[in-house]
Amino acid sequence: MKAIIDYETEKYIENHTSDVSRILQQNYRETNLTTYFPQMLAGKVQAKFLEMVCRMIRPERVLEIGTFTAYSAIAMAAGLPDNALLFTIEVNKELEAMIHKYIKLAGMEEKIKLLLGDALQIIPKLDEQFDLVFIDADKEQYFDYYELAFEKVKPGGFFLVDNVLWNGKAVKDDSPDKETQGIRRFNEHVKNDQRVEQVILSVRDGLMLIRKL
């Protein structure tokens, strides 16, 4: 993952951010050693940001679209109140064992529920109202994830959407790849969506925070 800020500044930010748990540190190492695309992993700064957002808004129901190896799910669950539940959707069934391993190591079995399969099929079947939705999955499908989840978010609830700057390529309109175009489509849609208000934060690869009015 190419940083949108220079390396020296990025390291300064990391060095002045509280450490994540030992379990997340272990997850980070194993993900980098055993998966094909470890750059998909949320880093320490983003993990602490997600945890603190959960501590601030205290959501009772959270939906994560894109589990990967459960790093961000565990980070968010650490900030949830005792009665909360986080649903996380992962399409890659080969990651199931690793996901369950780290959920158990983190002691989060009662807080995190893994749903395996295509999010576009799973989301409509969820009989829940969410306080927070975190999107970090197939960039081409961001628009669809957002629209499918929207009706399941409570008024005043939030979306957090990762990679909305996409290595800076989302800023330009001449990037032909489908992932960049998917992110640009999503960003423009939210910009013009009168149902919400939003802000883009330059955390890692760009995070958009959206509040449903």
Least confident of 95-99, 114-118, 172-176, 201-205: 172-176
Q: Is the model's pLDDT at 36 over the cut of 90? A: no
128 Rama class: left (phi>0) / alpha (psi -120 to 50) / beta:
beta
Neighbours of 36 (CB within 10 A): 6
Per residue in 139-164, pLDDT (tens digit) is: 999 999 999 999 999 999 999 999 99
DSSP structure class, residue 13? H
Show the CA angle centred on residue 135, arms to residues 130 and 139, nearest 5°. 150
Dihedral sign computed on CA atoms, order 143, 149, 155, 158: negative
Spatial distance between the Cα atoms of 208 and 190, rounded to a whole number of angstroms: 10
| Strands in the chain per DSSP E | 61-65, 85-90, 112-116, 130-135, 153-162, 196-201, 207-212
| 123 closest CA partner among 156, 157, 150, 84 | 150
Please state the rounded mean pLDDT for residues 184-197: 98
Burial of 198 (0-12, 13-18, 19+ CB in 10 A): middle
Distance, in Å, from the CA atom of 105 to the CA atom of 99, rounded to the nearest integer, reads 10
Model confidence pLDDT, tens digit, residues 99-118? 999 999 999 999 999 999 99
If one compares 41 and 86, the residue with the highest pLDDT of the two is: 86
- Give pLDDT, residue 41: 87
Q: Is the pLDDT of residue 209 over 50?
A: yes
Instruction: Please count the other Cβ atoms lying within 10 Å of the Cβ belonging to residue 124.
Output: 11
Residue 78 has a pLDDT of 98
C-alpha separations of 190 from 24, 58, 139, 166, 196 in Å: 32, 24, 15, 16, 8
pLDDT of residue 182: 95
Tens of pLDDT, residues 47-59: 999 999 999 999 9
Query: What local confidence, expressed as pLDDT, does residue 101 receive?
Result: 98
DSSP letters spanning 106-157: TT-TTTEEEEES-HHHHGGG----EEEEEE-S-GGGHHHHHHHHHTTEEEEE
* pLDDT over 80 at 3, yes or no: no
Residue 1 pLDDT greater than 50, yes or no = no
CB 41 within 8 A of CB 73: no
Closest to 84 in 3D by CA, of 105, 103, 59 = 59
Average model confidence (pLDDT) for the chain?
94
Enumerate domains of the chain plus CATH numbers: 7-212 (3.40.50.150)
pLDDT(39) > 90: no
